Amino acid sequence: MHFGYKDFRPGQQGVVQALLAGRDALAVMPTGAGKSVCYQIPGVVMSGLALVISPLVSLMGDQVRSLQDAGIQAAYLNSTLTPSQQGSIMTRALAGEFDLLYVAPERLEDPRFVEFASQAPIPLVAVDEAHCVSQWGQDFRPSYLRIGTFIEQLPTRPTVAALTATATERVRADIVRLLGLQDPYQAVTGFDRPNLHFSVERLEPNKKLNRITTYAKAHPEDSGVVYCNTRKNVEKVHEHLVQSGVKATRYHAGLRKEERSANQQAWINDDAAVIVATNAFGMGIDKSNVRYVIHYNMPSSIEAYYQEAGRAGRDGLASECMLYWSDGDLSTCRFFLEQDSDNESMSPEEAEVARAARRRMLAAMEGYCLTCECLRGYMLRYFGDESAAQQDNGSCNNCSNCEGGFRAVDVTAEARAVMRCVQELRGRFGKGVVVDVLRGTNMERLEQFGLAQAKCLNSVSMSQVQLKEVIELLAAGEYLEISDGQFPVVGFGARFREAAASDFRLQMKQVLRQPQRKPGVAGGRSFG
């Protein structure tokens, strides 16, 4: 082939073969896994013009240039070209000059283009970033909804390839339905990163700081990233690290552009070992020897977490991905969720759908923090990479859950009591009130709310902290839903009925206190 690769990467061959055989395909592979090859090879092999729909106008030029460098006839049509340049591309395309033509989805609404497409022989339509068609994803684009109709109205139905890096089950179902894929071959591969060790721990903010500093000091030669949820936290963690003698720098949108790029460069050159940053950092950075990525706060989705943590260990060497979280992180995420989903270009209904999608993504992230399962398996299953999730009987032996150190406590009875209580309170109160009712505490306040006679009053004996965690577990499983905004209330989630089923079970992770190692005694090395 023209492409100069010796072998296919996982997943590529299946997709290429399916497309060449005329079968639609959906490829879900992480960024960098090589999705382009999946449609480029068939695009070149099939006779006629393969249309590639991509939202990334700024990247089209580069993609097309590198194809041309490889001797492939490719072109693009987008708003960076003048109308006469566009006309000339279409004329040349009709003359059969190109194998691949890249267009933005907005183009499908242009009558001139639709006319052109009805005349050109189009054996293949490839839809890149296909998750943009779903309102359940992070980057919904209304213009993607046109693609299905566009394909339908072509004189001959082309084979359709959909490609994306993030697709939960729901998003995948949307892609198939809204793009009108017919019995598509599905490939979900490449998400597993065996060299990354994942760990998660619940820690109060001051303890997080010490933990991170201790780690960075113990690994002075290692390159690392510490992600924080706010600029303020970036400043705090950065200052703490620097004061402790760690060579750290920082990155967030509040810094001047020159300082940001100087700091980034210092980290890339390994002059600074650690960069403390908000999620504004990392796009387009390709540093292979990152040995650890620490999250000082819980991110708002598994997608975001896996992408950020995945910046560790690109060289394939063993690397650490540590997530420290606290209840405060969850509140912050819920608070921002309301604001982040307020987008001026959306109707109120669209905004509510976007909020619901974000709530579910946050619930899944919370589930990662609370789960007793293998952490890697949890994430791989989330992305739909089932075969990778099930390898080694679903236990990777390379994450903090597989390594143990906790007990899985059955809290099914308590969970049922919580569900009854939320029902009795009709979803009007926050976590604190639900807990007070169930434990019969803070009676004065309950009196004020008219809840002193509640049927489920004092029906559970469990600590306040644990009971709150049971509520969070139910929210993570979507049995309950905790609203966003400043005063979140506990209501029913999409799966609340399932909690009433007889086979419903809930387990809570109870961390076992690790014996404190005293230097020179338990460690033994100093006797050496």
Pick from 18, 19, 37, 323: which binds ligand ADP (CB under 6 A)? 37
- Cβ distance to ligand ADP smaller for residue 18 or 454: 18
Q: Which stretch binds ligand ADP (CB under 6 A): 3-11, 110-118, 322-330, 454-462?
A: 3-11
Cβ pair 330, 299 in contact under 8 A: no
Considering the complex, what minimum distance in angstroms separates the CB of residue 8 from ligand ADP? 5
Q: What is the DSSP letter of 393?
A: G
Q: Which of 1, 2, 22, 32 binds ligand ADP (CB under 6 A)?
A: 32
Report if residue 153 touches ligand ADP, rule: CB under 6 A.
no
Please report how close the Cβ of residue 170 comes to ligand ADP at its closest, in angstroms.
21
For 100-119, give one letter per residue: b (16+ CB within 10 A) or e.
bbbbbbbbbeeeebeebbee
Q: How many residues does the chain have?
A: 528
Give me the helices (H) in 120-226, please: 146-152, 169-178, 205-218
**5 lines the binding site for ligand ADP (CB under 6 A):** yes
195/459 with CB nearer ligand ADP:
195
CB of 66 to ligand ADP, least distance (A): 8
Residue 381 touches ligand ADP, criterion: CB under 6 A: no
> Based on CB atoms, which residue is closest to ligand ADP, 309 or 470?
309
Chain centroid to CA 385: how far?
14
Specify whether the CB–CB gap between 438 and 418 falls below 8 A.
yes
Q: Which residue is nearest to ligand ADP (CB)?
A: 34
DSSP-assigned letters across all residues of 441-491: --HHHHHHTT-TT-TTTT---S-HHHHHHHHHHHHHTTSEEE--SSS--EE
The residue range among 29-37, 140-148, 203-211, 288-296 that interacts with ligand ADP, by the rule CB under 6 A, is 29-37
- Contact by Cβ (8 Å): 456, 437: yes
Cβ neighbours, 10 Å, residue 10: 15
- Residue 157, CA distances (Å) to 38, 223, 301 in order: 19, 51, 37
Residue 9 in contact with ligand ADP, rule: CB under 6 A: yes
Give the span between the Cα atoms of 187 and 13, in whole angstroms.
10
Minimal distance in Å, beta carbon 384 to ligand ADP? 16
Interface with ligand ADP by CB under 6 A: which range of 27-35, 93-101, 288-296, 486-494?
Answer: 27-35
**Beta partners for 509?**
408
Check binding of 132 to ligand ADP (CB under 6 A).
no
Residue 387 C-beta: closest distance to ligand ADP, Å: 19
Structure tokens at 173: 């179902």
Residue 36 interacts with ligand ADP (CB under 6 A): yes or no: yes
Minimal distance in Å, beta carbon 190 to ligand ADP?
8
For 449-455, the CB contacts below 8 A with 24+ separation are 451/425, 454/421, 454/424, 454/425, 455/420, 455/424
Residue 278 touches ligand ADP, criterion: CB under 6 A: no
Q: How many residues bind ligand ADP (CB under 6 A)?
A: 13
**Of 35, 172, 240, 431, which one interacts with ligand ADP (CB under 6 A)?**
35
Identity of residue 389: A
In this complex, which beta carbon is closest to ligand ADP, that of residue 7 or of residue 69? 7
Listed residue (91, 147, 141) closest to 115, CA to CA: 91
Options 28-36, 211-219, 292-300, 327-335: segment touching ligand ADP (CB under 6 A): 28-36
Query: Does the footprint of ligand ADP cover residue 74 (CB under 6 A)?
Result: no
Q: Is residue 490 a contact partner of residue 435, using CB atoms and an 8 Å limit?
A: no
3-state class of 364 per DSSP?
helix
179 closest CA partner among 41, 26, 36, 42: 26
Judged by beta carbon, residue 54 or residue 135, the one nearer ligand ADP is 54
Point out which span in 16-24, 34-42, 237-245, 487-495 binds ligand ADP (CB under 6 A).
34-42
Q: What are phi and psi of 512, to 5 degrees?
A: -85, 135
Which one of the spans 4-12, 104-112, 199-207, 505-513 is the region binding ligand ADP (CB under 6 A)?
4-12
CB of 188 to ligand ADP, least distance (A): 13
Going by C-alpha positions, the residue among 91, 456, 481, 472 that lies closest to residue 77 is 91
Among 26-34, 237-245, 335-343, 518-526, the segment contacting ligand ADP (CB under 6 A): 26-34
* Interface with ligand ADP (CB under 6 A), residue from 15, 16, 29, 446: 29
Shorter beta-carbon distance to ligand ADP: residue 35 or 250: 35
Residues 6+ apart with CB under 8 A from 69: none
11 or 488, CB closer to ligand ADP? 11
Per CB under 6 A, the list member of 1, 31, 56, 428 interacting with ligand ADP is 31
Q: Which of 15, 16, 28, 33 binds ligand ADP (CB under 6 A)?
A: 33
Binding site for ligand ADP (CB under 6 A): 5, 7-9, 12, 29, 31-37
